Structure 1
Amino acid sequence: MIAKKIPIIPIIFILPTILFLGTFIYFPLFQNFYNSFFDFSVFSQKKEFIGFSAYTQLFQDNVVMPALVNNIKYAVISVAFQVIFALILATILEDKLFRNIAPFLRVIYFIPVMISISVIALLFGFIYNPQMGLLNSFLELVGLDNLAMPWLGNATTSIYAVIAMSQWQSIGFITMLFIVAIQKIPKDLYEAADIDGAGKIRKFISITVPQVKETMFVNTLITITGAMLVFNEPYILTNGGPGFSSTTLSVYMYQQGFVKDNMGYASVIATLIFILTAIFALIQIRVSGTGRDD
């Protein structure tokens, strides 16, 4: 019986990727799950095994549910603006009417993506300033001074103010991905639609949307995953306040781990974030049916 040769060359090519994923993705993931069963701090000499006690505490924590709700708000609003509105914006920029100025507009929309989040937080901190901020000044200028408020200091509006800053920064990136997808659509589809007398809205619904389905799935996945992991924006702008009104799961995990030095419970919150993100990703894959043959 002749022994079957093992394909060495393909294994050599994929080995670096496997080592990279194992070292920086899967090992930290399993290490975090292991740490969630212990009570310890950064400088602890020993870890105290507590089993599932920390997971029980998670369901009794009064901050976890409001933080999760903030993440869900972040995800819903981000999908509406960064996916749906970005697709509409990309379609408009690729229209014949805007073809001459489209390169300039693409640069304008993409510039916020390249700016540091710290700089953007300082900028929006000035915009939201209750005394001399641009937003309240504009509302007073147009006679809507009754709507002026301390946007970041109000428990009702703080999370929405943070989300608005994120949309301004991120929508340009998603728009560019949609523009690339739209440019790959065969032009003869639109020409045939013109011959049939289809309007712009009908061409958008019947041609553009189906043709960019895969890109829409990727953008939605990126957006929702980013919303479940969001940390920089709420931490820099409000530090999760006032109270816990703009706290997200990642911010709360950081506060537990590096402020209260409760690394075991922070590992539990990190595990929760991973499970929720994985569930949302699996739901999107199942609903979208991406990768299946038509």
Structure 2
Amino acid sequence: MHLLNRYKWPALIGIAPALVIYLLFAIVPIILSFYYSVMDWDGFTKMKFVGLANFKEALDDPVFWGALKNNLLVVAASVFGQVPLALFFALLINRKLKFGKVFRTLGFMPVVISTVIISLVWGMMYNSRRGLFNQLLEGIGLGDWAQNWLGDPKWAMFSVCVTIIWQFIGLYLIIFLAALQNIPEEIYEAAKIDGASGLKRTLYITLPMMRNTIMVAVILCISGSLRTFDLIYVMTTGGPGHTTEVLAMYMFDQTFSSTRYGYGSTLSLFIFFFSLALVYLSTLILRKRGD
């Protein structure tokens, strides 16, 4: 008898609590969002059915499209910043680099530090008067390059993206290190005997065997980036002039500040649909390149 069939009921009992929590805090809110999205409701008065009016309003809302553009910038910065850098550092540390364990610990520290603390520290570093970056530029004779990093619409989103990249590199670093350590050494030894250089071993052995791990990292990047909220909220509160506002912030503002629960639910559904679409597209692209 198969082991799973033998212990089917104990396994079901074991996963039941987690399944119930997932249903209550993930699936049920999504279902309720569909219901609230066709309603006009301020949380106090009686709900009013408005059909697809909230969806039409969102599609005609320039702030919504601006927030979506900013979200896509965060997604691009995360996918093309966090994943390649984390993979590069993972390959370095995996080569028995001296003090590798120290670098691994230091790289993972930003992941476990409170996002609020990270936002406050980086906000002080970006300060236009006494910030670390402007003082460094002045110290090396490039004072003309000093900027109002978070107050200038040209630089605000760029500055936020740099902080986001720095914060989560460590997460993917640990994921890639775990994948690298699971690749059998015998494969590398055989390739070395055949005369393959270090670069060729990386391109034709390491990366193909890590394809599924890289795909998972990209999916995590996309889903996490579309939920970005707290870091940007603390650093800029979406300013100046909505230039750093993302969909989660706009949804929060419309739902709780403006008490428009129907419109806020509509925005949350757009986040949900965009997440599914981007994850699906990225999965298709990575699978085609791997074939």
Q: TM-score, normalized by length of structure 2?
A: 0.92
Superposition map of 1:29-40 within 5 A: 29-40=30-41
Cα deviation digits, residues 69-95 of structure 1 (max 9, x gap): 111111111111211121111001111
Deviates more, 1:137-146 or 1:281-290: 281-290
3-state DSSP class of the match of 1:136?
helix
| Whole-angstrom CA distance in 1 between matches of 2:202 and 2:12 | 45
Shift of 1:159: 1.0
Q: Which amino acid aligns with 1:21?
A: Y
Is 2:76 the counterpart of 1:76?
Answer: yes
3-state DSSP class of the match of 2:42?
coil
Shift of 1:12: 4.2
Match of 2:233? 235
Q: Which amino acid aligns with 1:164?
A: V
- Uncovered stretches (5+) of structure 2, i.e. residues with no partner: 1-6
| Whole-angstrom CA distance in 2 between matches of 1:262 and 1:197 | 65
Shift of 1:13: 4.8
Cα deviation digits, residues 143-201 of structure 1 (max 9, x gap): 22121111000111111111111111110111011001001101111112222232222
Percent same amino acid at aligned positions? 32
Superposition map of 1:9-28 within 5 A: 9=9, 11-28=12-29
Superposition map of 1:214-253 within 5 A: 214-253=212-251
Q: Determine if contact 2:82/2:166 at 8 Å carries over to the other structure.
A: no
Shift of 1:21: 2.7
Q: Which amino acid aligns with 1:125?
A: G
3-state DSSP class of the match of 1:242?
coil
Match of 2:60? 60
| Whole-angstrom CA distance in 1 between matches of 2:120 and 2:199 | 39
Q: Which amino acid aligns with 2:91?
A: T
Q: TM-score, normalized by length of structure 1?
A: 0.91
| Whole-angstrom CA distance in 2 between matches of 1:25 and 1:117 | 22
- Uncovered stretches (5+) of structure 1, i.e. residues with no partner: 1-6
Q: Which amino acid aligns with 1:114?
A: V
Cα deviation digits, residues 227-278 of structure 1 (max 9, x gap): 1111111111000000010000001111111111211111110010001101
Q: Which amino acid aligns with 1:197?
A: G
Superposition map of 1:1-294 within 5 A: 9=9, 11-42=12-43, 44-96=44-96, 98=97, 100-289=98-287
| Whole-angstrom CA distance in 1 between matches of 2:253 and 2:99 | 46
Shift of 1:283: 2.1
Distance 1:13 1:289, change over 3 A: farther
Shift of 1:285: 3.0
| Whole-angstrom CA distance in 1 between matches of 2:93 and 2:208 | 18
| Whole-angstrom CA distance in 1 between matches of 2:15 and 2:257 | 40
Q: Which amino acid aligns with 1:75?
A: V
Match of 1:4? none
Deviates more, 1:232-241 or 1:18-27: 18-27
Q: Which amino acid aligns with 2:38?
A: F
Deviates more, 1:136-145 or 1:176-185: 136-145
| Whole-angstrom CA distance in 2 between matches of 1:82 and 1:277 | 18
Q: Between Structure 1 and Structure 2, how many residues are aligned?
A: 283
Root-mean-square deviation (CA), in Å? Answer: 1.9
| Whole-angstrom CA distance in 2 between matches of 1:33 and 1:127 | 42
